């Protein structure tokens, strides 16, 4: 029998985690093969691998321990990819050469599949003088545009596109431009933005005091702190960015504050990291550890939890030695501190199984107790590893025990660390788990509440027909199995009905025993007042959170899936979307309808012929393949490459009109040409124009410039209809939800954050 409890779980595994040959044929015949591959790979680091492979397999079995996606997809494949999810890059120098050295490092990191975080506070503000050059500085925002363009260009390893986090200090002179940068819907689409908030700033906000904007001790402006705070709040109220990171609190709570300073985080914010720091993530599936669910005797099996945590810590520690790194500086940083981020998923489901209402004071106390149990088990497991393999190289017992989370740790754990050392400097973090939670049977994500009890997911089959699947929350499905048709109890709550301050309460409860940070979204109703919205952030500050991310649905951010009173409050998914996802590439029919276009580039001896063939799905023509031919042999290699790449994108489905805009944006440094009264910046841009003309003729897009822009996550306008909110750039369905600080698709599991 299949280990998967729902078709979507098996589809996620097949699409994202199953080891396959380059031609798509499967090497992992079953999910058990995937578990065995991962276990064998991580056990290979041990002196006696055979002693640990079985133990590691047992932890992975039945989705009890869920390594982050890059480990699940990459471990044991022999491929040159990093097993670390994301990185904070080096400090950006305030010089042109240094800035572009950093850009190169970012490109190399993203090429291997890592998301990146950067603090742009180190770049001088716009208008500042540049020594030796008769010009003013263009400022950090202009260089962020360069990073954004690079990220759009590079596809990360596998099916992931890179994600980036940009931070800026609240006292940087360009902070107001940073806050409002994403009012332009086409700008910085590959970035998440967060403001680094200091303790002094929060005190000034509360006191309604003044605030200096400065760079290198030069004061540029003095403003009211509360005015700046309101601008930050207005930005996130209107379009969900920027986020807020309480950076002084992060540094004070850091176990390594004696040897590092943090100024940036990974793309989802759960890992504040020093320069060249990397986040290694994994999650304990709490929903699998509850005995006697929904009975009066229901309880989390804490003995099983402790044993599972110890195994997971050992596995994650081995990843440090098993993984490749894009840069040597990243490898050295990881080896010096051996930082890991063990977290949880399925927390809300586990609370439901023991009869507790997510967001209540009782549930917050239970969450804090469970997180402490995990922290204790993780630290003691790392002490045992230190006895066996040695402490992390930068360990200094007295300094370590006098900093950060260690100061609140139990005395027996502190004594063990003092005596034996500890293998991993930091051990706990709560990461986004949207995709791995679907893979594990649609358990609730991370520490988030259940998003919806059930929803209908549409799947496009190879013949063009659609089937519908009901995707049911793991705890709800278990209730049905145990209780049949008995009504759900009152304590079943979901993200649609939860008050924002209840979200804050749960985040603060979990944060107390998490030594890194937490990726969480606080869902706010669309009609929440601005004053009440600001109170959410102030409550997060007052209750000890290290950051805060909210999501309020509106015309800019897109609507959350609507909730119906029928079918256990299942979200309604629009059945009329014309942009659809092909779960597997379609087999090529014997005959296709298409057009061939002749393109004559000025000063070129031979013309280029472009053929675009279409397939008909749901009564609409959509592009299926492209052929680009020319007698000019100088063009041969790149035209073949372009043919294959564009065709591969077309056959995957979704709204592929962004291909046109990407091509049209390419410029040739040798100069473009005037064609039909327009300046075309390159021959590739001309090819993009031809493909755009075809898409207009066939009705795939409404007119010139009306396809998706450079960002595939821009709003999709369905043919013959009005804008329908945010569409998934992978599958085209209107099913994006903000979860754990990241837009995640409930249909295909796509996540901007990887």
Instruction: Give the tens place of pLDDT for each residue, 242-270.
Output: 999 999 999 999 999 999 999 999 999 89
Q: Which residue has the higher pLDDT, 90 or 459?
A: 90
Of the residues 268, 731, 745, 748, only one is catalytic, namely 268
Higher model confidence: residue 606 or residue 431? 431
Is 731 annotated in the active site? no
Checking if the pLDDT of 92 tops 50, the result is: yes
Catalytic residue among 270, 322, 661, 662: 270
What average pLDDT score do residues 143-151 get? 88
The phi and psi torsions of 450 (rounded to 5 degrees) equal: -60, 130
Options 3.40.50.620, 3.20.20.30, 3.20.70.20, 3.40.50.720; which CATH number does 1-85+280-356+376-497+513-522+558-575+737-754 get?
3.20.70.20
Could you tell me which of 551, 691, 555, 563 has the C-alpha nearest to residue 623? 691
Q: Catalytic residue at 151?
A: no
Residue 749 has pLDDT above 70, yes or no: no
pLDDT given for residue 618 in this prediction: 62
Q: Give the range among 12-21, 216-225, 327-336, 576-585 with minimum mean pLDDT.
A: 576-585
What is the pLDDT averaged over residues 723-731?
54
The pLDDT-based confidence of 471 (bands split at 50, 70, 90) is confident
Q: If residue 492 lies in a helix (H) or strand (E), which one and from where to where?
A: none
The full set of domain ranges for the chain reads 1-85+280-356+376-497+513-522+558-575+737-754, 87-264, 593-697
pLDDT, residue 37, reads: 98
Residue 676 β-bridge partners: none
Q: Where is average pLDDT lowest: 580-584, 598-602, 692-696?
A: 580-584
Instruction: Find the mean pLDDT for residues 628-650.
Output: 84
125-149 average pLDDT score: 85
643 CB-contact burial (10 Å; exposed 0-12 / middle 13-18 / buried 19+): middle
Percent of the chain with pLDDT over 90: 61
Q: Does residue 484 have a pLDDT over 70?
A: yes
Which is the catalytic residue, given 254, 266, 285, 442? 266
Q: How confident is the model at residue 728 (pLDDT cuts 50, 70, 90)?
A: low
Query: 49, 51, 58: which is closest to 76 by C-alpha?
Result: 49
Query: How large is the average pLDDT for residues 268-281?
Result: 94
Q: Map residue 575 onto helix, strand or coil.
A: coil
Q: Which of 463, 445, 265, 443 is nearest to 343 (CA)?
A: 445
| pLDDT (0 to 100) of residue 30 | 96
Section 609-633 average pLDDT: 84
Instruction: State residue 672's pLDDT score.
Output: 81
pLDDT category, 719, cuts 50, 70, 90? very low
% of the chain with per-residue pLDDT over 70? 86
pLDDT single digits (tens) 320-377 = 999 999 999 999 999 999 999 999 999 999 999 999 999 999 999 999 999 999 999 9
Which segments of 154-224 does DSSP mark as H helices, in order? 175-180, 199-207
Of 2-11, 178-187, 385-394, which one has max mean pLDDT? 385-394
Is residue 595 among the annotated active site residues? Answer: no
> Exposed/middle/buried for 566, CB within 10 Å: 0-12, 13-18, 19+?
exposed
The pLDDT value given to residue 465: 59
Mean pLDDT calculated for residue range 26-41: 97
Mean pLDDT computed over 14-30: 91
| The pLDDT value given to residue 727 | 62
The whole-angstrom distance between residue 537's C-alpha and the CA centroid of its chain comes to 22
Average pLDDT rounded to a whole number, residues 529-557:
92
Of the segments 466-480, 510-524, 604-618, 641-655, which one has the largest average pLDDT value? 510-524
Note the pLDDT tens digit of each residue in 368-382.
Answer: 999 999 999 999 999
- Please choose, from the candidates 258, 289, 442, 434, the residue with its C-alpha nearest in 3D space to the C-alpha of residue 373: 289
The predicted model gives 146-173 an average pLDDT of 76
Contact at 8 Å (CB) between 749 and 438?
yes
Looking at residue 501, what is its pLDDT? 97
For the segment 42-79, what is each residue's pLDDT rounded down to a tens digit? Answer: 999 999 999 999 999 999 999 999 999 999 999 999 98
Quick one: pLDDT at residue 720?
A: 32
Cis peptide, bond prior to residue 150, ω within 30 of zero: no
Tell me, yes or no, if the two domains 1-85+280-356+376-497+513-522+558-575+737-754 and 87-264 fold the same way: yes
What predicted TM-score, i.e. pTM, was given to this entire model? 0.79
Cβ neighbours of residue 483 under 8 Å, at least 6 residues apart?
A: 294
Residue 158: per-residue pLDDT: 38
pLDDT at 537: 98
Give 633's pLDDT tier (boundaries 50, 70, 90): confident
pLDDT reported for residue 139 = 94
Which of 126-140, 461-475, 564-578 is least confident? 564-578
Integer angstrom CA distances of residue 297 from 293, 354, 355, 480, 490: 8, 8, 10, 18, 19
Task: Answer whether residue 185 shows pLDDT above 50.
Answer: yes
The architecture of the domain spanning 87-264 is Alpha-Beta Barrel (3.20)
| Residue 600 confidence class, pLDDT cut points 50, 70, 90 | confident
Q: What is the mean pLDDT of the chain?
A: 87
**How sure is the predictor about 710, in pLDDT bands with cuts at 50, 70 and 90?**
very low
Predicted confidence (pLDDT) at residue 716 exceeds the cutoff of 60: no
What's the confidence (pLDDT) of residue 437? 93
């Amino acid at each position: 029998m299949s280990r998967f409890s729902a078709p979507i779980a098996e589809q996620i595994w097949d699409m994202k985690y199953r080891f396959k040959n380059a031609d798509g044929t499967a090497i992992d015949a079953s999910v058990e093969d995937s578990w065995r591959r991962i276990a064998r790979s991580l056990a290979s680091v041990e002196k006696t691998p055979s002693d640990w492979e079985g133990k590691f397999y047992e932890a992975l079995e039945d989705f009890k321990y869920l390594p982050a996606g890059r480990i699940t997809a990459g471990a044991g494949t022999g491929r040159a990819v990093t097993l670390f999810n994301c990185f904070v890059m080096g400090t950006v120098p305030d010089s042109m050469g240094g800035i572009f050295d950093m850009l190169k490092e970012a490109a190399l990191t993203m090429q291997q599949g890592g998301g990146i975080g950067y603090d742009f506070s180190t770049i001088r503000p716009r208008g500042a003088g540049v020594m030796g050059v008769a010009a003013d500085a263009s400022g950090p925002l202009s260089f962020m545009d360069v990073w954004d363009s690079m990220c759009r260009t590079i596809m990360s390893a596998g099916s992931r596109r890179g994600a980036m986090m940009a931070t800026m200090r609240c006292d940087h002179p360009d902070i107001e431009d940073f806050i409002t940068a994403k009012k332009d819907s086409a700008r910085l689409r590959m970035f998440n933005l967060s403001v680094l908030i200091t303790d002094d700033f929060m005190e000034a906000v509360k006191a309604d005091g003044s605030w200096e904007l400065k760079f290198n001790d030069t004061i540029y402006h003095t403003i009211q702190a509360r005015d700046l705070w309101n601008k930050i709040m207005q930005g996130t109220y209107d379009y969900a960015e920027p986020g807020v990171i309480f950076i002084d609190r992060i540094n004070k709570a850091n176990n390594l504050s004696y040897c590092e300073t943090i100024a940036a985080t990974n793309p989802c914010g759960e890992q504040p990291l020093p320069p060249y720091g990397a986040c290694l993530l994994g999650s304990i599936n709490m929903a699998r550890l509850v005995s006697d669910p929904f009975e009066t005797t229901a309880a989390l099996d804490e003995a099983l939890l402790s044993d599972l945590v110890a195994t997971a810590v050992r596995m994650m520690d081995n990843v440090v030695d098993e993984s490749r790194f894009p840069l040597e500086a990243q490898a050295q940083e990881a080896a010096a501190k051996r930082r890991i981020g063990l977290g949880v998923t399925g927390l809300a489901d586990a609370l439901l199984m023991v009869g507790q209402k997510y967001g209540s004071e009782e549930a917050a106390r239970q969450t804090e107790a469970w997180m402490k149990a995990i922290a204790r088990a993780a630290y003691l497991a790392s002490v045992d590893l230190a006895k066996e393999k040695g402490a992390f190289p930068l360990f200094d017992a007295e300094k370590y025990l006098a900093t950060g989370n260690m100061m609140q740790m139990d005395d027996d754990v502190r004594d063990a660390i003092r005596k034996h050392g500890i293998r991993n400097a930091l051990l706990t973090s709560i990461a986004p788990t949207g995709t791995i939670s679907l893979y594990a049977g649609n358990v609730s994500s991370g520490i988030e509440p259940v998003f919806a009890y059930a929803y209908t997911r549409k799947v496009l089959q190879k013949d063009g027909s659609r089937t519908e699947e009901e995707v049911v929350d793991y705890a709800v499905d278990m209730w049905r199995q145990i209780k049949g048709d008995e009504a759900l109890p009152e304590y079943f709550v979901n993200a649609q009905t939860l008050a924002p301050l209840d979200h804050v309460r749960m985040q603060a409860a979990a944060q107390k025993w998490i030594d890194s940070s937490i990726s969480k979204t606080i869902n706010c109703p669309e009609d929440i007042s601005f004053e009440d919205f600001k109170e959410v952030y102030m409550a997060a500050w007052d209750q000890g959170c290290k950051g805060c991310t909210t999501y309020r649905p509106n015309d800019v951010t897109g609507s959350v899936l609507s909730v119906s009173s029928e079918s256990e409050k299942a979200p309604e998914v629009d059945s009329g979307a014309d942009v659809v996802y092909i779960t597997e590439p379609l087999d090529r029919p014997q005959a296709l309808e298409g057009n061939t276009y002749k393109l004559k580039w000025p000063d070129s001896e031979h013309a280029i012929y472009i053929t675009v063939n279409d397939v008909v799905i749901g009564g609409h023509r959509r592009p299926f393949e492209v052929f680009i031919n020319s007698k000019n042999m100088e063009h041969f290699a790149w035209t073949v490459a372009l043919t294959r790449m564009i065709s591969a994108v077309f056959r995957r489905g979704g709204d592929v009109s962004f291909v046109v805009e990407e091509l049209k944006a390419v410029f040739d440094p040798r100069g473009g040409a005037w064609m039909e009264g327009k300046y075309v910046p390159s021959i590739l841009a001309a090819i993009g124009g031809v493909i755009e003309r075809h898409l207009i003729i066939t009705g795939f897009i409404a007119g010139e410039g009306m396809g998706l822009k450079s960002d595939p996550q821009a709003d999709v306008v369905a043919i013959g209809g009005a804008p329908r909110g945010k569409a998934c750039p992978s599958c085209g369905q209107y099913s994006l939800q903000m979860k754990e600080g990241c837009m995640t698709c409930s249909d295909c599991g796509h996540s901007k954050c990887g």
